[in-house]
Structure 1
Amino acid sequence: EIIQFLLSEGAEVNFKSPKDQRNALHIFYFSVLRPEPQYMLKATQLLVEAGIDINEKDKYGAIPLKYAITVVKLTTEEMMPVYKYLIDRGSNIYEKDSFDKTCVDYVKEYSWRNGLISLLGGEADENK
């Protein structure tokens, strides 16, 4: 797999794109719209295990989880292992972006992502 090769060659996982200040996880979720669900999880795990900052903000103040919620076209059920993995590793669902919205706000706004509220449990109702 290309990600494993790049990591084995010392690719800097926290390198940020000059234009949008996105790291590899931002770019992955923003660019790979309909991957195989297992590939999505495996790529996420590889990048996280390599030390990528899952709470890094791009120039719009968005963390990678925001793009996993708003851009990736897989169903919420298919994405649930990725969401759970990121949240379990500390992805800050309450981090506000430049539009003053959190990942929880986007889950509530995007009706097809409402299934993610069950993963967040009562936390989705809190204002943090």
Structure 2
Amino acid sequence: MTKYLVEHGATINETNKYGYTPLIYASKYNNYKAMKYLIEYGADINAKNNFEYSSLIYLAQHGNLEGVKYLIENGANIDDYERSGDTSLMIACKNSFDDIVEYLVENNANVNAKNSWGHTPLMYACESGNLTLVQYLL
């Protein structure tokens, strides 16, 4: 469906009233095939919706390592953040997605970033009770 729409003139970065682009929807619902297609055809990889969620934030939230890797490899801002200031690294720490945390850190995500409440990735790893992540971040 995505391919058909793009080939028939759909605007690739069009947004709805909530600011969702097709790429953000594809990322939010883990549609990797559509996501890749949209990026290949020029979708704004760092676009944010009205809630300041980008594709990278949604993929980190859902534990989609393959999608996170693809976005980073194609130029997504690794330290992107949502409305409260949580970065993809913080979100991965909150949800104990060790593989995503390791990938983001290995690709130079800011481990000292603070959100609007002063929380850091390490604080979220502690709150999640994931000692492996805590040790990794130390």
TM-score by length of 1: 0.76
Where in structure 2 are there 5+ consecutive unaligned residues? 114-138
Instruction: Select the structure of larger CA radius of gyration.
Output: 2
1:127 to 112, 120, 124: 112
| 2:99 equivalent to 1:115 | yes
* Structure 1 residue 23: Cα displacement: 0.6
Cα RMSD after superposing both structures: 1.9
More helix by share: 1
Give the match for residue 87 of structure 2: 102
1:1-12 equivalences in 2 (<5 Å): 2-12=1-11
Give the match for residue 69 of structure 2: 84
Distance in structure 2 (CA, Å) of the matches to 1:46 and 1:53: 12
Deviations 1:23-47 (A, max 9, x none): 11112233x36xxxxxx33211100
Give the match for residue 136 of structure 2: none
In structure 2, relative to structure 1, the CA distance for the partners of 1:90 and 1:127 (3 Å cut) is farther
Moved over 4 A (4+): none
Tell me: higher relative CO, structure 1 or 2? Use CA pairs within 8 A at least 6 residues apart: 1
Distance in structure 1 (CA, Å) of the matches to 2:101 and 2:85: 19
Distance in structure 2 (CA, Å) of the matches to 1:125 and 1:21: 27
Deviations 1:24-81 (A, max 9, x none): 1112233x36xxxxxx3321110001111111111111111111222x4xxx4xx332
Where in structure 1 are there 5+ consecutive unaligned residues? 34-39
Distance in structure 2 (CA, Å) of the matches to 1:56 and 1:125: 20
How many residues were matched structurally?
112
**Paired letter, 1:56:** A
Give the match for residue 59 of structure 1: 50
